[in-house]
Structure 1
Amino acid sequence: MLSKEYRKIWLHGLNLTSGSPSQEIVNGNLKFEYKCEELFRFRRCASFTMAPSVSITNHTTSSSPRPHILYTVQANINGNALTTKKRYSEFVGLHVQLNDRFSLPPKRILATTFFPSAWADDTLISERKDGLTAYLQAVLSDHKYRSSQAVTEFLAGTTPTGKFDLEDALPSTLSRKAALSLATAVKSGDVEAAATPVSGAYYPDWSVGNRPPEGIDFSKFDVIWFAFVLPNSSSTIDWSWNGQSVLQRLVTSARNSGYGTKIVLSVGGWGGCAWFSQSCSSASNRNTLAGALVSAINQYGLDGVDLDWEYPNSPGAGNPYGPNDAANLLSFVTLLRSWLGPSKIISAAVAHLPWLGSNGQPLYDVSAYAAQMSYVNIMNYDVWGASANPGPNAPMANLCGTSWQPQASAQAALNQWTAAGFPASKLLLGVPLYGYVSQSSKTVLTGSLMPSASMLLLQQNQDTEIESDGTTPKSMTFLNGAHPNPSHKEGEVTIQADLRGYWGQQIAFKDIVGSGAIVKRADGNYGEGGGFTMAWDNCSNTPYLYNAAQTTVVTYDDTWSLADKASFARDHGMGGAFTWSLDQDDGLTLQNAIRGGLGK
């Protein structure tokens, strides 16, 4: 029989006592061990481990140095209750200190300032409470991190530390204009600076005629991807007729420039992946292909390799594929890393969603790939090609919630890849220096219906800032990224542009300029010309042209839209941006706009 000094507690068929338990610390947890009795001739003892708990259900705001959010963290570790208030940037700082594998809720101050603030504050705060709670719970559940000095100091501190960061701000206090202006304060040191983002471009070997390597201004490019070499049926690589000589000229010119531009060999491409699946299908084939690529890297003194496999477990341009492609790709990049060492670049050109697994669905965990790779290059273009119902080529986001392809935008790609465990700092945002010409009578892009007039008025009012004399500005900017229609006003334009010969095709930005459909202005931006009307799609944050008489629509990107995408990449902690392709620019006008958006 039980001693009278103990009270019976029945739990899962065990007769336990709840008197005075003994206590000890086991792996950082408080462990309670109770006395036990003989039950059915067996002696069963039970113990309970009190796991650390954390919650963030409340928040406050502070007005200094400008309105921002403080999240109230309540934690219980080893029976000790702790409460502290932290800014979002302090969680980011802890994440950097620990170099942990867990995910934080994404940076999105630029995105939230595209929406009415009545939604933005509640949406952002709710998302971050959930995300920051999950992050801290993951950290505290791992003994290695839980016992670290960084975590101890984080939970013990009561006063926010470090410089004010743009991501700490209360969205309703920042118009889009103010948010972008505040971002420039990085230069003065008033706002915490992020790592310097990468600005790069693809250089196809066929562009040598109009953009020879010797004429490239390498000061504008951190990385240039040389395109392409192709996997072949023997699992080695094939070069174009002049590929090796062009690559040698590119490497020599880059090294002679003294700017440190890295040259990376890209393998595959849309029309060059017929043998990729086979070349990665076995250990023997992977060794052969890796050997060929490493040999080329060593021969030409290259800085790495880029895998433009379009796409694993998907036909792409009609290529063979198989259910094990994604797993074989991981084996291949792991092999490449072991041969190339830690300093060489290993990147991959990818779609908006992670690679398809054996079940035909996007992988939900790509952290193992991220551990081996330097970057993935998100191809945020070709979302909508030439069509009688044209849509945006490269949407920044689904800003009106009306997109027919909500998973295909810069913002969607960032969310989808980071949710699968690929760090934002290793994601490069691809932007196009080309567009599409459609035979169409449309004057509004497909899937880009505008919100109601009342919503637009709300957006307009929220972005109105009072001037020092008490008046309102003469021009106002919508929060969702609209730009004024920049008609060319510098004299009469007599040339009539005719792009009907491009119907159904891509068109380089420089060729749009060359046709006269847009005209470069003195401020470096472009206005409409040649009988075309320039319009702005607020829902994708991209421009387009139309000529009703010619039933022609051109969807493309310009200095404004590219600078916005680059700013988006930078403000969301992405690794940088790249273009397809270097030779399609009007000189360096677009590249300069991108670099400006990246803060370079």
Structure 2
Amino acid sequence: MVDARTLRSWRAVGVLAFAIALVVASGPAPAMGRTANTTGPPAIADAPPTDPDGDGLYEDLNGNGHWGFPDVNLLFQHTDDPRVVDHTAAYDFDGDGQVDMQDVLALFEHDRLVARATLDPAGSVTPGTTVTLDGRNSTASTSIDAYTWRVNGSRVGAGETATIEVTDPGPKRVTLTVRDADGRTATTTETITVRSADQRVIGYYRSWSRYQRDYRPADVPLDRVTHLNYAFLDVRSNGTVVLGDSWGDRQNLRAFRNRSRAHPETTMLLSIGGWSYSEAFSDAAMTPERRERFAESAVRIMRTYEFDGIDVDWEYPGGGGAPGNTVRPDDAHNFTLLMETLDEHLERAGEADGREYTTSIAVSADPEKVDRLEWDRLEAHVDLVNLMTYDYGGPWSETTGHNAPLDRPETAAVDSVSEATRSFADTGYPMERVQVGVPFYGRGFAGVENGTAHVGQAFSGTPDGTYGTSGVYTARDIEQRLNDSAAGYRFHEAAAAPTLYLPDREILISYENERSIRAKARFARRSGTGGVMVWALGQDPRARLLAAIRAALTTSDRPSTAYK
């Protein structure tokens, strides 16, 4: 009887001798892998073949769940069998597009020691997280005698599995080295990123930025945000979630899919709705069938582009959004049912994909809109809440005012960021999962004849803004306007907000600069919230405001528990 070890010594004789040896060879051989998926080509032996290492090639021809020398013999005997020839892709071990004697030799010489490491949790984690290292999917032709785990070069464990507790922020290279009975070794490396102990920075990327501002996925500084929300997908009345711009969205989402592979530490969510795409939300959430369709279609797009979750931005359940939105008395309750259905679908997808997916919602800072929602039920199905604490002052106001005042100035009739945050805490939703919203844009007022007071003054219209948008100026545009020597700048201490007056045009702009952004980020941290949400990336293309947020969130001040 000729076994596999003998064949190794005959290899130099050539394929002919190899073939002769296969004819006379018989009997069992050492196992070459782990039990694997049993779907694939039809059976050649007693059981269907399997793909033990998941590479798309069916090395286990006899279907016993292992990859070994009998499978080499079986391929040799059936290279002309229609069950093999008609499934060339499954048996093309040498990659030449056909199945012949070279594939038999390639199967015999196939990699017989493969290291595979699985990390749980994977991607991005917080300090203090315990991570399980699992090497049980590694494969060998004989047996694996040793497992060695290292993190950034330092040995942390041995055995098929190990656990580590990560503490210091930054990327960690987890390396698994396996050694088989013949003394050979194989190595694989996975990376896990430990986020700094500060809070989240969630940035919205607007899909239309590629047209209006030529701000593309490649321009987004993913190293400065913990989460990226892609805005927006549309929803139809029947519940189906669709791309708002079939061409542009595909270009953007493919680009973010590629970037996410290089930035696993950044959680990417697909955001559905927004001000312009909330018209049909009430219809979509109205029936169980439509809610199912919403969840199925949203999850399908999410998985297609390898995103990490879904953000729902219904503006707003029960009314108060754009003119023409459908509104029903049951919107708030149906919103709860919609989020429950979405969460169920994401859980099933996570179980199938071996990971967890994230749900989030964007919520108005208006207490009346907040109080409509069923927070006692939403808490179990919504991981994160982004509070839209901006747009306090604008064209709808009676007098000039701040876009996002931290505290209410004495002369102002509007609410403030701090008041809205305190009010939201009354819902009982965990504040460590809530992000305080900050705008990367300013709002302008036209016809302001006297700019000395800046706020609380009469105005008579709305200026064009940066791109012809009604009174909206990007941070970059405002920064350039500050170079105008005639411009009047003022920082309002109580509001922690700057204003800019352009006397030649009688325009007043309320906006954010690095000083005001730091104040709001410090407030978010000290208040025990989860961090900061930004609307929107691209309005600050040089990322100066993002840098200010990160700096304010990474200090050593201990957060209070005032809003927990």
Q: Which residue of 1 aligns with 2:229?
A: 225
Higher mean C-alpha displacement, 209-218 vs 540-549: 209-218
Shift of 1:245: 2.2
The residue that corresponds to 1:588 in the other structure is 543
Secondary structure, counterpart of 2:238 in structure 1: coil
How far, CA to CA, are the matches of 2:365 and 2:430 in structure 1? 15
Q: Aligned with 1:244: secondary structure?
A: helix
Matched position secondary structure for 1:310:
coil
Q: Does the 8 A contact of 2:336 with 2:374 survive in 1?
A: no
Identity %: 27
- Is 1:396 matched up with 2:398? no
Cα distance in 2 for partners of 1:355, 1:229 equals: 26
Take 1:339 and 1:288, find their aligned partners in 2: how far apart are those partners? 10
Cα distance change on mapping 1:499 and 1:274 into 2, 3 Å: closer
1:13-62 residue CA offsets vs partner (Å, 9 max, x unmatched)? xxxxxxxxxxxxxxxxxxxxxxxxxxxxxxxxxxxxxxxxxxxxxxxxxx
* 8 Å contact from structure 1 (residues 517, 530) kept in 2: no
Distance apart, 1:372 and its partner CA:
1.4
Number of the residue aligned with 1:287: 292
Show the counterpart of 2:524.
569
Scaled by the length of structure 2, the TM-score of the pair is 0.57
Task: Name the structure 2 match of 1:309.
Answer: 314
What is the CA distance between 1:196 and its match in structure 2? 2.7
Aligned residue-pair number: 340
Rounded Cα–Cα distance in structure 2 between residues aligned with 1:371 and 1:499: 41
Partner of 2:342: 336
| Mapped contact 2:465–2:471 kept (Cα < 8 A) | no
Alpha-carbon shift at residue 288 of structure 1 (Å): 0.8
CA distance in 1 between partners of 2:465 and 2:306 (Å) = 42
Q: Report whether the alignment pairs 1:234 with 2:234.
A: no
Counterpart for residue 205 of structure 2: 203
* Post-superposition offset of 1:334: 1.2
Alpha-carbon distance between aligned partners in 2 of 1:501 and 1:510, rounded to the nearest angstrom: 12
The equivalent residue for 2:424 is 417
Higher relative CO (Cα under 8 Å, sequence separation at least 6) belongs to: 1
Query: SS of 2:322's equivalent?
Result: coil
Change (3 A) 1:418 1:338: same
The answer to whether the aligner puts 1:324 opposite 2:330 as a matched pair is yes
Give the equivalent residue in structure 2 for 1:434.
Answer: 441
Alpha-carbon spacing, 1:320–1:541, altered in 2? closer, same or farther (3 Å): same
Q: Cα distance, 1:355 vs. partner? A: 6.8
Q: 2:482 aligns with which of 508, 513, 518?
A: 518
* Counterpart secondary structure, 1:550: coil
Of residues 258, 261, 267, the one that matches 2:266 is 261
Whichever residue aligns with residue 352 of structure 1, its letter is: A
Alignment CA distance shift 1:259-1:289 (3 Å): closer
Provide the rounded CA distance (Å) in 2 between the counterparts of 1:585 and 1:500: 13
Pick closer, same or farther for the CA change 1:243–1:312 going to 2, 3 Å: same
Taking the aligned partners of 1:285 and 1:354, their CA distance within structure 2 comes to 29
For 1:200, give the aligned amino acid. I
Are 1:429 and 1:578, in contact at CA under 8 Å, matched by a contact in 2? yes
Q: Cα gap change, 1:355/1:550 in structure 2, threshold over 3 Å: closer, same or farther?
A: closer
Distance 2:507 2:219 in 1: 34
Which residue, out of 362, 365, 372, partners 1:352?
A: 365
Q: Distance in 2 between matches of 1:412 and 1:540?
A: 12
- CA drift of 1:238 comes to 2.5
Q: Distance in 1 between matches of 2:508 and 2:364?
A: 25
**1:326 and 1:354, CA in 2 relative to 1: closer, same or farther beyond 3 A?**
farther
CA contact (8 A) 2:362 2:388 kept: yes
Measured in 2, the distance between the counterparts of 1:442 and 1:423 equals 45
Q: Secondary structure at the match of 1:403?
A: coil
Distance 1:195 1:330, change over 3 A: farther
| Bigger CA radius of gyration | 2
5+ residue gaps, structure 2, are 1-195, 351-355, 458-463, 556-564
Q: CA deviation at 1:441?
A: 2.1
Give the conservation status (yes or no) of the 8 Å contact 2:407–2:495.
yes
Task: State how far apart, in whole Å, the 2-side matches of 1:594 and 1:234 are.
Answer: 40
C-alpha distance in 1, partners of 2:548/2:267? 21
| Cα distance in 1, alignment partners of residues 500 and 281 from structure 2 | 38
